[in-house]
Structures are given as C-alpha cells and as structure tokens.
Amino acid sequence: MERPTIKSPTELEYMREAGLVVAAIHQALIDATKPGVTTAQLDQVVANVVADAGAKPNFLHYQGFPATVCISVNDEVVHGIPGKRAIQLGDIVSYDCGAYVVRAGKKWHGDAAVTVVVGDTHIPDAQFVQGIRPEGEVGGVSPVTLSRRRTLSSVTRGSMWAGIAAAAKAKRTNDVAAAIEDFVEAEGAAIQADQGWSPEIIEGYTGHGIGTHLHEDPTVYNYRTRGRSGKLVAGMAICIEPMVIAGDSTSAVLDDEWTVVTVEGTDAAHWEHTVAIGKHGISVLTASDAGAAGLAPFGITPIRSFI
C-alpha cells in the first residue's frame, strides 16, 4: 500500500466531493435494486452516475478489476464481478465502489459499501438509529433466511458506526478495530441466544487509509491485532469497512481470482464509509449528512466542512 497522505483542510474537502459522488452512486443502486435486474445493468447504473458527476471510477481496472462496482450476492463476501446474474427477491447484496475527482492536479478518492436485502425498503441512517428495521414477507424466501440476512446487515452496519464513532477519539487504528469487534461480539451473544447463529468478522480483509490513492496505509483491521496498529492523526482519511459472515468466518477466492466467498456457503454483509479526521473532529465524507444521523447516538456531531 501507499504511505498515508496527510491532507490539508482544502484537500479533505476535495475528498468530500468524491465522497458525495459515492453517496449518489449508493442511492442510485438502492433505487435500481429490483428482482430481475442483472448485476451488469447495475454496473452501468454506477458508471452513469460517476460520468454524470464529472468524476472517474476508481475500481475499474484497479489491479485488473473488470467493472465499476463490486457486487457480492449472498455467500459472496466482497469483490464480486458484475455479469449476467439476475438479482432475486430476498437476496442479500453488497455494493462496494468508489470514485475520484481531480483537483489541484491530483486524484482524490472516495470509497464506500452498502448492503441491501432485495425487496426491503432501505432504512436511512436517521431511522436506523431509532431502531427501525425492515420487516415483513419478501417473495418466497423463508422467514428464517430473511431474518438472518436482515440481522446480519444490521449488525454489520452497526459495527461500522461503532468504528466510525471510535475514530473520533482514536489515537491508533486498533481503537477503531476494538470498537468494531466489541460491537459484533455483544450483538452476537444476543443473536446466538435468539436465533441460534452468530455473526463473525471475516479475517484477512480490512479497511485502509485513503487519499490520493484508493488504498493507503494504515491498514484498519476489523478486530484487535497485536503490534500492527497505525497512528491516527489529523489530516488522515480512513475507510472503515467491516465484513461480517453469518457463522464460520473462513473464506476462499473463486477461480475468477476476485470473488471472495464463505467456505460454508453462509451469507455475508459489508458496510463501509470514508472518514476524515480533522483537528476538531471527524467527518464521514461518503455520507450526504457527513455522518450526523449515524453518529447522533454516540453524542458526536461531525464536522460539516473543514474550511
């Protein structure tokens, strides 16, 4: 990975421009998620939003990745390649994508991921923090499967916000990692008692620094690590992106050399935001409200602008 870049307030605002393009992509994907739509059609949705915004996709051709967005369905964890697959009612689908803008002669990146259960109405952050969750029947999907997928996405999303909130005070990446791990573990105990399965953080996949490159140091783990914790200082931006599996946390890569799947065939979820650390607070660059709704339960008011 590239060394971490320390951004000026103006540069963090360039990154917010990229981040808001990513927020617009996610909204377009949520709106376009319907049974029968192919993942290739969804990839085109992303390409169109990026082009309309005057930005550039940063996943396309990244280390040879052949599409604009990673679309991972059910037991696919991350890095799924769009193609002919048609989305089905009740599928759990994660979208991971990014965009960059060129300002002052450099590329400034944004990167975020969202998970949806097809057929559910998307719950915005403001309602999510009030405890509102999707419910009801979806197609012919069994209530048990549906409940597991909704809970999995909810826990993953919650752990992301716990990690983001921790970044407001964190001195090192391990503080963020610990918050994510503790959230999943606490929720997991309740889910095990209630539903008989446990959410597990996938090993070997992490968040990262971001700036003039899509992936920079430091590595941001989703679980505590010994001796591998990077410093967090003002001017840094990091992607916080827990990936959580319903059950056994081992994964494998398919023959396409990209798609990561769970070995046991259990479902997976992935949520991610790009978070900027300023002198006087944090800001969620890929959230249209800078993270205000998601951070409200933690008593944190994000910075709306660094300049």
At 141 the three-state DSSP class reads coil
> Which CB, 25 or 170, lies closer to Mg ion?
25
Interactions with Mg ion, residue window 219-248 (CB under 5 A): 239
Q: Is 216 in the site for Mg ion (CB under 5 A)?
A: no
CB of 208 to Mg ion, least distance (A): 6
Name the strands in the sheet holding 281-284, side by side, starting at the edge strand that comes first in the sequence.
216-220, 207-209, 237-240, 273-278, 281-284
What is the rounded CA–CA span in Å between residue 275 and residue 293? Answer: 14
Cβ–Cβ < 8 Å for 284, 291: yes
> Which CB, 111 or 181, lies closer to Mg ion?
111
> Which CB, 141 or 239, lies closer to Mg ion?
239
Q: Which residue among 11, 43, 76, 96 contacts Mg ion (CB under 5 A)? A: 96
Q: Which stretch binds Mg ion (CB under 5 A): 39-47, 88-96, 196-204, 245-253?
A: 88-96
> Which CB, 42 or 113, lies closer to Mg ion?
113
Q: With CB under 5 A as the rule, give the number of residues binding Mg ion.
A: 5
Cis peptide before 218 (omega within 30 of 0): yes
CB of 114 to Mg ion, least distance (A): 10
Cβ–Cβ < 8 Å for 220, 111: no
CB of 137 to Mg ion, least distance (A): 31
Q: Which stretch binds Mg ion (CB under 5 A): 41-49, 109-117, 148-156, 250-258?
A: 109-117
Q: Which stretch binds Mg ion (CB under 5 A): 12-20, 107-115, 137-145, 278-286?
A: 107-115
Catalogue the long-range contacts made by 168-174 (C-beta closer than 8 Å, 24 or more residues apart).
168/281, 168/282, 168/295, 168/298, 168/300, 170/232, 171/231, 171/232, 172/229, 172/230, 172/231, 172/232, 173/218, 173/219, 173/220, 173/221, 173/229, 173/230, 173/232, 173/238, 174/221, 174/224, 174/225, 174/229
> Which CB, 22 or 87, lies closer to Mg ion?
22
Handedness of CA 138, 144, 149, 154 (dihedral sign): positive
Element (H, E) at 56: strand 56-57
CB of 215 to Mg ion, least distance (A): 7
CB of 70 to Mg ion, least distance (A): 7
Where residue 204 falls (left for φ over 0; alpha for ψ -120 to 50; beta otherwise) is left
> Which CB, 216 or 272, lies closer to Mg ion?
272
CB of 201 to Mg ion, least distance (A): 15
> Which CB, 62 or 144, lies closer to Mg ion?
62
CB of 94 to Mg ion, least distance (A): 10
CB of 206 to Mg ion, least distance (A): 9
Binding flags for Mg ion, 243-282, as an x/- string (CB under 5 A) = -----------------------------x----------
In DSSP notation, 203-228 reads SS--EEE-SSSSSEEEEE-SS--SS-
Q: Is 111 in the site for Mg ion (CB under 5 A)?
A: yes
For the chain, how many helices (H) and strands (E)? 6, 15
Q: Which residues bind Mg ion (CB under 5 A)?
A: 96, 111, 113, 239, 272
